[in-house]
Structure 1
Amino acid sequence: MHILNLIRWKNLLMIIIAQVLVKYALFEPFPPLTALDTTSFIILVGATLCIAAAGNIINDIYDIETDVINKPKKVIIGNQVSENLAYNLFFALNVIGIILGLYLSHHVGKSSFFSIFVIISIALYVYASYLKGTVLLGNLLISFLVAMSLLLVGIFDLLPQLIPATRTTQMTFLNIVLDYAIFAFLVNLVRELIKDIQDIDGDYKAGMNTLPIIIGRERSNKIAFAVSMIPIGAVIYFVVTYLYTQIFAIGYFLVFVIAPLLYCTIKIFSAERKSDYQHLSMMYKLIMFFGVLSLLLYPLLLK
């Protein structure tokens, strides 16, 4: 169980759900030609999970000093799992993920796609070891990598089969995935800003230079408040542009995505205590989950 907590199995489960829904709720019920059969898709999910789990481990290794202050009861490395074992797991999972990515890239006839997994693996290490403690760069990078977990399905399932006869349909579905990836990027970016405010004490003592440390908690709150309005506008634009005739879909997005986003924006404006930011962080996780879950609507909407 300690290993599962170390690799953050709940976050990995979210990746599985997101990728499965893109593949089987968005792509499979409809005409676009796809490259991945069930076995190949499982390999894609496996490669993604291995590299993401390795990223979570290296992040915890570099966060020991700050976690002792910010969340002392949740420190795993050095308590339940030795640092040596954590490093071994980090290297093993990266190697497995990259090997799976290499096989998959050759399988779909796009050997150059292998570099995506290598770049993501390196980016996660750079984030944990350096960029996490910088102003906004770490927030932007990790949010981009969260978005990539959705885009990987489109890259490996649609791009290798892109042909003139079905290009228009395939690009339509790829654009839908891109829209969801942008949503994931924006929601995660707000959550990262909130987590930086929440963890300011431990980050300061560890010598980091996150946004709240540089400009203060109050100004960071205002920036998080401003940024939190962007996903609201993006979702409203998406609903009005693509789903304006689908009453059920509009209702879903209003209740499970837009309303919670508005609630969080209001709460950010008045947040002061650490518990306020913990609550907001959890809310944005739920918003991400319900946003991804909306992919289940497409088999009903596009019949």
Structure 2
Amino acid sequence: MALSRKQKLFLKKVISLFSVVRGHNIPVIILAQYLSAIFILAPEKRAIAILLDFNLFLLVFASAITIASGYIINNFYDSQKDLINRPNKSMLDRLVSQATKLKVYFTLNFIAALLALCASWQAFLFFSAYIFLIWFYSHKIKKYPVVGNLTAAMMAILPFFALLLHYYNSITFEEIESYKGHFAVIFAHACFLFLLLLIREMIKDLENLKGDLANNYQTIPIRFGEQMSKKIITILTIATIVPVYVLIDIYDVGYMDIYFYVCFIILIFFLLYLWKSHQKAEYLLLHNVLKFLIVAGVFCIVLINPSVLWNGRKLLLMM
């Protein structure tokens, strides 16, 4: 049955809004939070107990909605820049008016804050601050070198701190000593992810150089040159060795050490290709390599203790 003109227009706008909120990223974010909770943040708890934790569900859902709204406000402020850097995607995104985007943005933020409040007042304060930070980043911070990159990378891992707050807000001062090793593992994972995200943000600056220059964005390659940007990326890439060493040689991450070894090999070729790159298409390839490593890292979390999945499956079959 053929669709009417109005139905086709509506479908196009739904696809456009899906593109604006980067809907393909949301399931990955949700999966990353749940796997992090099961294997990293609360490994002592049974997987089924974590999956059935309603407050955790509220926090994960609030995180996903907040990130989706963040993509909207970022798209709103970057509309002119994206016309140059991503003309095809920009034309698709423009099928939804700026007014509609803002309405959806405020609606999603209201829902996220309400969900957080249902979980706890601490979560409400956390997500209120997170929503404000995303707006302030999109409005002001992202136009400045270094601080813009650092803020973008930090915002990407902040939702995991909401889960950390959920699991550890009731720990007493006397119990902190017994959790030191666990916190070290969490911190090392967070550092590795933060470095990958920061490298990706700097690659994006090289990739979007033309649009940033036209819209007066003072990024590192514009302010200090491409060579300096590549040197900083090289230093950050080498710095990933530190958290990887902590996770592999000091603490037990199970079979996930395979992921870190593969990452190390890929990052060596990444650096070699980086110094040969000068075109947008080459930087885009490097950007996609980093996205692959980050997404692969999400799925490889299960390698920390694969038996959890089997035990969880047996438990579900028994219910």
TM-score range for the pair, normalised by the shorter chain length: 0.7 to 0.9
CA contact (8 A) 2:117 2:124 kept: yes
Paired residue for 1:103? Answer: 118
Q: Shift in Å at residue 171 of structure 1?
A: 4.8
Q: Does 1:72 pair with 2:87? A: yes
Q: How many residues get paired?
A: 293
List per-residue Cα deviations over 1:103-124 (Å, max 9, x = no partner): 211xxxxx33422111110110
Paired residue for 1:38? Answer: 53
When residues 274 and 166 of structure 1 are mapped into structure 2, their CA distance, relative to the original with a 3 A threshold, is same
Letter in 2 for 1:189: L
Q: Does 1:177 pair with 2:186? A: yes
Paired residue for 1:2? Answer: 16
Task: Find the partner of 2:73 among 34, 51, 58.
Answer: 58
RMSD in angstroms over aligned alpha carbons?
2.6
Task: Find the partner of 1:139 among 146, 149, 154.
Answer: 149
Letter in 1 for 2:191: I
**Whole-Å separation in 2 of the counterparts to 1:116 and 1:260:** 36
List per-residue Cα deviations over 1:91-112 (Å, max 9, x = no partner): 111111111111211xxxxx33
SS of alignment partner, residue 270 of structure 1: coil
Matched-pair identity in %: 25
Larger radius of gyration: 2
Q: What TM-score, normalized to structure 2?
A: 0.83
CA contact (8 A) 2:149 2:201 kept: yes
Matches within 5 A, 1:1-303: 1-27=15-41, 30-31=44-45, 37-75=52-90, 79-105=94-120, 111-156=121-166, 158-163=167-172, 170-243=179-252, 248-255=255-262, 257-300=263-306
Gaps of 5+ in 2: 1-14, 312-319
Letter in 2 for 1:10: H
SS of alignment partner, residue 275 of structure 2: helix
Q: Shift in Å at residue 226 of structure 1?
A: 2.1
Paired residue for 2:5? Answer: none
Q: Shift in Å at residue 207 of structure 1?
A: 1.4
Q: Shift in Å at residue 249 of structure 1?
A: 3.9
When residues 39 and 96 of structure 1 are mapped into structure 2, their CA distance, relative to the original with a 3 A threshold, is same
When residues 99 and 4 of structure 1 are mapped into structure 2, their CA distance, relative to the original with a 3 A threshold, is same
Q: Shift in Å at residue 178 of structure 1?
A: 2.5
Which stretch of structure 1 is more off in the superposition, 13-22 or 257-266? 257-266
Paired residue for 2:4? Answer: none
Q: Shift in Å at residue 161 of structure 1?
A: 3.6
List per-residue Cα deviations over 1:69-89 (Å, max 9, x = no partner): 111001157632111110111
